[in-house]
Chain A
Amino acid sequence: MNFFLSLFNAMPGAVTQGMLWGIMAIGVYITYRILDVADLTVDGSLATGGAVCVMLMRAGWNPWISLLCAFLAGVLAGLCTGLLHTRCGIPAILAGILTQLALYSVNLRIMGGKANQPIGVDKYDLLVSQRYVRELTLNNPIPLVILVLAVLTGLLYWFFGTEYGSSLRATGANQNMARAQGINTKSGITFGLMLANGMVALAGGLLAQYQGAVDVNMGRGAIVIGLAAVIIGEVLLGKVFRNFALKLTAVVIGAVIYYMVIQLVLQLGLNTNDLKLLTALVVALFLAIPYWKTVVLPRKKEV
């Protein structure tokens, strides 16, 4: 009974964390699914967003403006990866790794040379905070996070339906076709990386506030969590959610489910240190299943 009670108590936190990571996972969806580029920049840009947001707020800036600056910092990070990839001929994965590595130093600089910087809920006017996640007051972060998600989903739905947004989808679907139709695929990929990393950095800014601190290592393995969210969402809801806005929602739901499962296994006594191993295994499994299906199923038909 105690077990279920504490699990139940932990759920609002897991859901909120999942939704915040869902914003980040939407960024991963943009690169991984729409542009067909595996972008590892996110491991660095998540912390960049957190660092920019926290440092500006500590300097007395308005939290929304700080969040906007976090978004723009992510956009710059994406620009770096985009230029390395499209203008220097570096494979996308390697370009992302290079930017991510560089960002580690950049993030430390932003954070004044410290590996972490606190942003206390008592001293600062935080948009979202872990402290109020189980309270039924206006301070509860859940409504605000849902609102942010709804606005972002709406904006992306509109954007990817425009002429320019469609050209980005075409670039991800078939670069040959895109170029033959006069689409500048290089600038398209760069723009997509900028947009995606902006989203990731925005998520970083919110996550740092939620946790009450920014840590230079907060983005480690972020890409894998993002992929986990994308894939869990697709596996569970891909058949039902066809509309683009619903697909983005599925990604967020995927992230929420991921954090609920993590909470469950932690309650069951899993060592926190083993968490990343578990995450990697789960993502590897989900990535392998579609491949195994193509290898095994045709053989069954022959029998």
Chain B
Amino acid sequence: MLELKNISKTFNAGTVNQKVALNGLNLTMAEGEFVTVIGGNGAGKSTMLNAIAGVFPVDTGKITIDGVDVTNLAEYKRAKYIGRVFQDPMMGTAATMQIEENLALAARRGKPRTLRPGITKADREFYREQLKILDLGLEDRMTTKVGLLSGGQRQALTLLMATLQQPKLLLLDEHTAALDPKTAAKVLDATQRIVDRSHLTTMMITHNMRDAITYGNRLIMMYEGHVVVDVRGEEKKNLTVEQLLNLFSKASGSDEADDKLLLS
């Protein structure tokens, strides 16, 4: 479904702030896989997601989604294949627009935007049904401006928007990191339900190692811009946080590694 071949990205090349964010990154994801991504600060997790989404062009390598080479495709064109939820709850929704208007925008992802009415009666019924899945009571507040919602509600809505038009690939960039633990659990729960419902191919960055083990069916760890640990299936299910830390130390060949991970 997704293939990253030898991806490299250096920010601010040739300046004192030069930062190699991705360094010969290779990754292949099969359809229906739910990969959790962990790694310390600056390991390249978010850069990888943004590279896939097309926020910036990569320096080298090739990105293929479902057999389509998207390496040189603009961000808005790639959106056809990709659903995204950001770390910042403010980023995924239009605050000054209503809940149903936001959903209507998401429902047209990857389709031409015409001069037909933005929302029809039938659309509204569909959105109402979809909002019920979130179990947050938003189905009764469809004309509320999104700016009035809490961070958790906005993340849940963004999640729904990302999957309303079924994406080939769902990218979650620490989407619960800005939420309090209780709300984070609720949003993660909704994530699991939505991913299961349509067997979405999903990539989720998290800073919480327990979540990384609990969710998904494959786990990768990044270090210095490439994948250093890759476990799946039974092996992943039986992982413990301690084992994960050991794996990391071995892969990165450094003892201070666990500090870095824990602090991230």
Q: Residues of A with Cβ closer than 8 Å to B?
A: 159, 161-167, 169-170, 173-174, 176-185
Contact = CB atoms under 8 A, between A and B. Distances in A.
Contacts, number: 89
Contacts of A166: 97, 101, 104-105, 113, 118
B106 to A, nearest CB: 5
Given A176-B86, A181-B79, A182-B77, A162 B106 contact: no
Interface of B: 53, 74-77, 79-80, 82, 84, 86, 90-97, 101-102, 104-106, 108-111, 113-118, 161-162
B107 to A, nearest CB: 9
A166 B120 CA distance: 13
A180 B53 CA distance: 8
A163 B114 contact: yes
26 contacts: A162-B114, A162-B116, A164-B113, A165-B118, A166-B97, A166-B101, A169-B96, A169-B97, A169-B101, A170-B97, A170-B102, A173-B96, A177-B92, A178-B76, A178-B105, A179-B76, A179-B79, A180-B79, A181-B79, A181-B106, A181-B108, A181-B161, A182-B79, A182-B80, A182-B111, A183-B105
Contacts of B115: 159, 162-165
A164 B114 contact: yes
Contact of A162 (B79, B91, B110, B118): B118
B127 to A, nearest CB: 14
B91 A182 contact: no
Contacts of A181: 79, 105-106, 108-109, 161
Contacts of B97: 166, 169-170, 173
Contact of A174 (B93, B111, B116): B93
Contacts of A177: 91-94
A173 B84 contact: no
Contact of A183 (B91, B113, B116): B113
Given A161-B118, A166-B105, A167-B105, A182 B93 contact: no
